[in-house]
Amino acid sequence: MEKKFSFSVQGMVCAMCVKNVENAVKKLDGVKYVSVNLATQKAFVIANDNISFEDIKKAIEKAGYKATMEAHTEDLIEKQFQEAKRNMNLSLYITIPLMLLMIIHMSGIHIPYFIVIELIASTAVIFITGRKMLRNAWVALIHSHTNMDTLLSIGAISAWLTNILAILGLDVLSFGTVAAMIITLNLIGRYIESRMKSNAAKEIRLLISLKANTANVLNNETIIETPIDAVKLGEIIIIRQGEKIPLDGKIIEGKASINVSMVTGEPLPVYKTVNDNVISGTIVENGIINVKVEKVGEDTFINQMIKLVEEAQSSKVPIQALADKITRYFVPIVLILALLSFVFWFFNYELYLPFLHKAANIFPWIITDAGALSTAIFSFVATLVIACPCALGLATPMALVTSSGVAAKKGLIIKNGEAIQMAKDINVILFDKTGTITTGQLTVVDHNLDDEVLNVIANIEENSIHPLAKAIVNYVIDKAKFNKITITNVEEISGQGIKGEFNNDIFNIGKPIYAENYLNFLENGETVLEITKNDELIGYIRISDTLKSNSAGIIAKIKELGLITAMVTGDNEITAHTIANKISIDEVWAGVSPEKKVDIIRKYQIEGKKVMMVGDGINDAAALKAAEIGVAIGTGSDLTIESADIIISKGDISKILDAINLSKLTFKKIKQNLFWAFIYNIIAVPMAMMSLLHPIIAEAAMLLSSINVIYNSGRIKKMK
């Protein structure tokens, strides 16, 4: 038995922190999967039944971080945003006047005791506004690992120490103002990052805003406003015009036009009446309905959507493995390089001074008369600051956060990062027929059974969840011919039919033995079920389904991408080919069982093709798992979330195109982000070691690199 945990992690500042948290959790015996997202501060863990959240929490605390389930990710991100804003403002209030004084002092206008003023101001900035950075660096140190704050803290304190050394009379330039500027620029960067993260997480906040806090519960003809958490399964709630539907359920009285756009992406209101399902988060635009509650708590559709989107944002894509390997050794290597640059300039200053003079003609910030110690400290601090791996750590997570949010807004839930990367490489898309290519609104159009037999058949079919069974039951109920009777020995054979016993007679409902007997019906796209009693044919039931209006157009667009389209259905050859011909599907596999669908997927995979399986997520569970990407199509209360990688909350296959296009765009942005993050470090680190970068220029470059990654990821939102 597996358990899944989704929770927030506090104290992470870079990709190294992510690895530290993941490694700490992986050490627990029974943990199968760990994924931590820097952008959302969220972790997702799959573990054996013997692992509890307390075990995970203790492991993370041992690594120097904090795990909590107290707040949603977006609440923590908003809190961090406000904290970053306060620290940035305070730091600016101190640093800007200090910079002005420094400029005046360096211009030749002597300011008495400037070096002391510089020490007081820089101390306030480092140890007050930058205290969290220092604390994070210290926690990392005592837990025997490093992070971005390690580099920044060493760099800032090194620059600050030159201020003290200068006051003590040593022949060294004071970089106290530089220390304050390093901290301030870093705080500006964290403010901008947290603001952009906050914007990226707004789709989650939008989903949460759809949740109602209370429900109007009908109790003995009295309406009681009840907190959502107190509503029980089976209770009746009333939703009036303009109100949100608070919980998933079935309409038992009334009718209404319901706005589902914020949940499923469908722009037009949907008409619902008795026996129709409704989902939480949607809004009644017209009418009033009484709903019997069928799902509460975490099982409701809106809570499942929030959970799935958060899990998707916490997942990883395979391409991130390269960045993870690099960040594992990044900080120790940078520390070594910074020390090497210090030693090099301290012992070779006079030898390479002509080089600095020539370089100063190109880079005006280079100091050519600072002396060996000051130049060594200058290059040491610049190397530490320039190499902070912020951009590298944000490259993939920010793209995943943005794309997951965009997908959720379109009624498309992508459960994991691998699906985002894999969707662009799909060669074949297999479609189930009923409810995928067709509307799934099956209706009985004709039969030749008497009322007594029809009632027996309906009672047998009540034991099945197949759409055909539901169509028969609803038909008999609508005709007021349904009487509850006791059926025994019910047996459903997947892909074949169902049978049951009544009054010692065995009734079987299944596929026709000789389909040609019903040729006219099948060529109209109807499905025919034969009824036998004690193995003797006694009649048939004809069931009709209609094509979705956009099926042909979507199939055409998919084929324009060079993909093979195929239909896999349990229906007979004639009906399947009739439907396939109407929408120009390439290949048809008819009369197949759910197990046979898996074999068909394997056949394509053996040929070297990557397969996407699109089905209703119930009968197609095995096929959804077998394919590289499984797509479950269905309305909210019927979602099967365990089998699929992608869930379309409304039965619109046009979302498949959105998923493919989103995959291409997201992967493109991830590659761009990683490229610029790598290039930035490859160019900047050697320049800093050569003393060609001022620490302030280095900090500004690091800041711009991170902002570029976040901004580039945000452009995914412009996807049409």
Does residue 639 or residue 57 have the better pLDDT?
A: 57
Check whether 639 has a pLDDT greater than 50: no
Report the pLDDT value the prediction gives residue 348, as an integer from 0 to 100: 93
Write b or e for each residue in 129-165: b if 16 or more Cβ atoms lie within 10 A of its Cβ, otherwise e.
bbebbbebbebbeeeebbbbbbbbbbbbbbbbbbbeb
Crossing angle of helices 390-409 and 176-200, rounded to 10°: 20
Question: CB–CB of 433/567 below 8 Å?
Answer: yes
Write b or e for each residue in 194-231: b if 16 or more Cβ atoms lie within 10 A of its Cβ, otherwise e.
bebbbbbbebbbebbebbbebbbbbeeeeeeebebeeb
**What is the band of 665 on the pLDDT scale with cuts at 50, 70, 90?**
confident
Give per-residue pLDDT as tens, 368-418: 777 888 889 888 888 877 776 666 666 777 777 777 777 777 777 777 667
Average pLDDT over every residue of 670-691: 83
Question: CB–CB of 533/506 below 8 Å?
Answer: yes
Annotation marks residue 432 as catalytic: yes
Average pLDDT over every residue of 246-261: 85
Residue 676's alpha-carbon distances to 197, 542, 662, in angstroms, are: 19, 61, 21
User: For the chain, percent helix, then strand, then coil, each to nearest 5?
Assistant: 55, 20, 25
**What is the band of 549 on the pLDDT scale with cuts at 50, 70, 90?**
confident
Does residue 404 or residue 153 have the better pLDDT?
A: 153
Check whether 2 has a pLDDT greater than 60: yes
Please, what is the average pLDDT of the chain? 81
> What single string gives the DSSP state of each residue in 420-485?
HHHGGG--EEEE-IIIIIB----EEEEE---HHHHHHHHHHHTT---HHHHHHHHHHHHTT-----
68 strand-pairing partners: 8
**What is the band of 540 on the pLDDT scale with cuts at 50, 70, 90?**
very high
* Cα–Cα distance for residue pair 406/716, rounded to 1 Å: 8
Question: CB–CB of 253/274 below 8 Å?
Answer: yes
Average pLDDT over every residue of 675-689: 83
User: Would strands 587-589 and 497-502 be described as parallel, antiparallel, or unpaired?
Assistant: unpaired
Question: CB–CB of 56/24 below 8 Å?
Answer: no
**What is the band of 638 on the pLDDT scale with cuts at 50, 70, 90?**
very low
Lowest mean pLDDT across 99-113, 202-216, 415-429, 629-643: 629-643
Give per-residue pLDDT as tens, 46-62: 888 888 888 899 988 88
Report the pLDDT value the prediction gives residue 341, as an integer from 0 to 100: 93
Give per-residue pLDDT as tens, 325-360: 666 677 788 889 989 999 999 999 999 899 989 988
**What is the band of 565 on the pLDDT scale with cuts at 50, 70, 90?**
very high
CA atoms within a 13 Å half-sphere pointing along the CA-CB vector of 654: 14
**What is the band of 673 on the pLDDT scale with cuts at 50, 70, 90?**
confident
Residue 341's alpha-carbon distances to 179, 334, 344, 379, 381, in angstroms, are: 19, 10, 5, 6, 10
Check whether 634 has a pLDDT greater than 90: no
Question: CB–CB of 695/175 below 8 Å?
Answer: yes
Question: Helix, strand, or coil here: 365?
Answer: coil
> What single string gives the DSSP state of each residue in 673-684?
HHHHHHHHHHHH
Lowest mean pLDDT across 240-254, 373-387, 523-537, 687-701: 687-701
Q: Which of 87-101, 622-636, 662-676 has the highest mean pLDDT?
A: 87-101
Average pLDDT over every residue of 28-37: 84
**What is the band of 324 on the pLDDT scale with cuts at 50, 70, 90?**
low
**What is the band of 5 on the pLDDT scale with cuts at 50, 70, 90?**
confident
Average pLDDT over every residue of 264-293: 80
| 8-state DSSP, 323 | H
Check whether 581 has a pLDDT greater than 80: yes
Average pLDDT over every residue of 112-128: 91
Residue (of 180, 162, 410, 148) closest to 305 by Cα position: 410
Report the pLDDT value the prediction gives residue 244, as an integer from 0 to 100: 86
Go through the domains of the chain in sequence order and give each one's CATH number: 2-70 (3.30.70.100), 211-300 (2.70.150.10), 315-411+654-720 (no CATH), 415-438+547-649 (3.40.50.1000), 443-544 (3.40.1110.10)
Crossing angle of helices 176-200 and 73-106, rounded to 10°: 150
Does residue 111 or residue 260 have the better pLDDT?
A: 111
Report the pLDDT value the prediction gives residue 684, as an integer from 0 to 100: 82
Q: Which residue in the list 29, 324, 369, 432 is annotated as catalytic?
A: 432
Report the pLDDT value the prediction gives residue 93, as an integer from 0 to 100: 93
Report the pLDDT value the prediction gives residue 101, as an integer from 0 to 100: 87
Q: What six digits make up the tokens of 273?
A: 């009446």
Lowest mean pLDDT across 264-273, 374-383, 546-555: 264-273
**What is the band of 308 on the pLDDT scale with cuts at 50, 70, 90?**
low
Residue 364's alpha-carbon distances to 355, 356, 359, in angstroms, are: 14, 11, 8
* Cα–Cα distance for residue pair 264/651, rounded to 1 Å: 9
**What is the band of 636 on the pLDDT scale with cuts at 50, 70, 90?**
very low
Q: What pTM did the predictor assign? A: 0.62
**Which residues fall within 8 angstroms of residue 65, CB to CB, at 6 or more apart?**
9, 10, 11, 12, 17, 20, 21
Question: CB–CB of 259/288 below 8 Å?
Answer: no
Q: Which of 47-61, 214-228, 439-453 has the highest mean pLDDT?
A: 47-61
Report the pLDDT value the prediction gives residue 117, as an integer from 0 to 100: 92
**What is the band of 162 on the pLDDT scale with cuts at 50, 70, 90?**
confident
Question: CB–CB of 392/677 below 8 Å?
Answer: yes
